[in-house]
Chains A and B, each alone.
Chain A
Amino acid sequence: MNIIVVGLSHKTAGVEIREKIAFSPTQMEKPLKTLVELPDITEAVIVSTCNRVEIYATTRDVAGGMARLKRFLADYHNFPLETLEKHLYSYHGEDATRHVFRVASSLDSMVVGEPQILGQIKTSYGYAAEFKSSGIILNRFLHKAFSVAKRVRTETKIASSAVSVAFAAVELAKKIFGELGDKTVLLIGAGEMCELAAKHFINVGVRGVMVTNRTYERAEKLAEEFDAKPVRFEDLMDHLPKADIILSSTGAPHFIIRENDMEEVLRRRKHKPMFFIDIAVPRDIDPKVNDVENCYLYTVDDLNGVVATNLEQRKIEAAKAEAIVEQEIGQFFKWLASLDVTPTIVALRSHFDEIRKAELAKTLSNWKDLPPGAEKKLEALTNAIMNKLLHQPTSTLKRTDQGSRNDLYVDALRSLFDLQTETEQENLMELED
């Protein structure tokens, strides 16, 4: 049995294609059932997120299976196959396994290390389980992917640092203030990056937001958007002491916050620390503010520097993660190979034969006055019993027309008689984990 993957992602297709090919999460039953009814396809799971659409399937015929999945994607969405094919990638065997392990571990994501993708694959797998389109191989395949992702997360620091300017600002604020729940953000001006940073601060739950702008109407409009308090630009110095985090991006040609303003401001706020983020070019805040006690000033370049360092760190961690993925591929293939019928029959027979020989030896050693020739007859008898007992299961296994049930039998036999050796040690991870 072979595993195949056909799909497209942010790396191979633009959003205008991705949105046309996406599957709605509320309507997974129909496509999943259609897929497993296709000839050559025995199991299928669809992963559909805003950045990727992928079908994982099992098939006996790799080329045929891939062709059917491609055709299915095009037909299901009424999209011309020739156009679609240019954006599709397809993998089978080891490459397919590497691919899904990397996707689940977020090594293939737009922002490497972002954790959402694992949850999305788990949800997709949930649908497949619910509509019974996945079976023994894809179950194991995806559970393995989850456990690889978990290993990557615990053994590397791939997701431990902020990799966007807005997030870096939040992380730095946390290093100054600890909890941000009782902090107030002041937004000066209305740059895009400033607004984004403000949104991140609101997401982590700051107590309040104030907005000011040279044109008061603009401040009011923005304030409405953020559920914030508008402040007149002329009153900036009155409100500054109330703000813990100041995000500034005005188009002013000169500094709007100067070092010598700060003494009064800090006195009024009892010297509680202040965190300034100056995103404006030319700068809004006098760099000397950073020299004032309890004031911390970061410019957009500083934040970019933080992000670059973090990205560099992620690259190192990603290399470690890739090594983990490679290790785990080997393990999964050992299990997959164990599903082959012939080695299982051989293992099963030798397992029974070992028992037979051991028991026979035990009996014969206790049996002193055995008539001549009896030993051979007992040998033949036990052999015949074993062969009779194993005949039916062996011939059932050898029948090649039963598709995925064969894998099920093989897997069950290996578990029942403990035939598997190194591959089966790890427990299946809980789906919710």
Chain B
Amino acid sequence: MNALLFNSTLVIYAVVTAIYLLYLLKPKDSLGKTGLWLTLAGFVVHCGFTVNRYLEAGHTPITNLHESLSFFSLAIVGIFILFERRYKISILGSFMMPLALLVMAISASFSSVIPPLNPALKSKWLAVHTIMAFLGYAAFAISFGVSIMYLIQSHFLKTRRLGPMFQKLPALDLLDDISYRCLTFGFPLLTFAIISGAIWAETAWGTYWSWDPKETWSLITWFIYAALLHGRLTTGWRGRKAAMLSIFGFVIMLFTFLGVNLLLPGLHSYK
């Protein structure tokens, strides 16, 4: 059942990605609509997978890379649907769905066996800490996608290449605004995730902060986004500069999430 739901989600996301990439080349409204409906269908199946996995495992299914990546992808798709509906920009799908698919595909490469739960993870904090962290990550992912769109649109305007893709991409100010909203949504979540993680660490390992690589890199990520938000609010970092920083922040965030788990041994190494 688990495998069926997981694979169905993967297939639907692959189809959606193909549709959205086609939409990028040939911006026909019908393609955008089909893309969104299929995304919704994929999201429902994906939720089904997550719930089913929760019931089978008996705990929040974010304890290894297979589960975490799948949940990350689910959060990206969920937040994408919210933003697509709120701002009516189909082309956002052309940037977000390939990312969601990629994350799912990486998830598929890890073992889907449900392992016995590590004693340190047996806590009510598991759900709070991980769900907040991944919702925050997903918001940063949307900000990353929108920032790429900003750079492309800004490039079109500067070089006067005003083709069909230029017409479909939203106004610069709107993209900048969405990116900013994602940051104001993601940053508090990341902050709470770090705080709740510290509290959990105290109960599990007896210390709030032990400078394990994951903790260190989370703090670095937090500082980058804090600096970006601060810069936006005070010195008016916006437009290209903000977009590039948001992309940089996302890359660091990905390293915190994946690189640290896979490359740097520490307390958080759950493969």
Contacts and interface: CB of A to CB of B under 8 A. Distances in A.
Interface string A368-381: 00000000000000
Interface stretch (B130-138, B166-174, B262-270): B166-174
Contact of B239 (A174, A267, A293): A293
A294 B238 contact: yes
Given A271-B239, A272-B236, A273-B173, A306 B162 contact: yes
A362 interface: no
A272 B238 contact: yes
Given A270-B238, A293-B239, A172 B157 contact: yes
Contact of B153 (A174, A175, A272, A309): A175
Interface string B146-185: 0000000100011010100010001111100100000000
A176 B236 contact: no
B235 interface: yes
Contact of B171 (A174, A294, A309): A174
Interface residues of A, number: 21
A178 B158 CA distance: 17
B172 A271 contact: no
Given A175-B157, A175-B166, A306-B160, A270 B171 contact: no
B241 interface: yes
Contacts of A273: 172-173, 239
B171 A305 contact: no
A178 B162 contact: no
Interface string B8-19: 000000000000
A90 to B, nearest CB: 41
B241 to A, nearest CB: 7
Contact of A270 (B172, B236, B240): B236
B162 A177 contact: no
Residue in B158, B166, B171 with the greatest tally of chain A CB atoms within 10 Å: B171
A269 B173 CA distance: 15
8 tightest A-B CB contacts, nearest first: A270-B236, A178-B171, A271-B236, A294-B239, A178-B173, A178-B174, A177-B173, A176-B172
Interface of B: 153, 157-158, 160, 162, 166, 170-174, 177, 235-241
Interface of A: 172, 174-178, 267, 269-273, 290, 293-294, 296, 298, 302, 305-306, 309
13 contacts: A172-B157, A174-B171, A175-B157, A175-B172, A176-B171, A177-B171, A178-B171, A178-B172, A271-B235, A272-B238, A273-B239, A290-B158, A298-B160
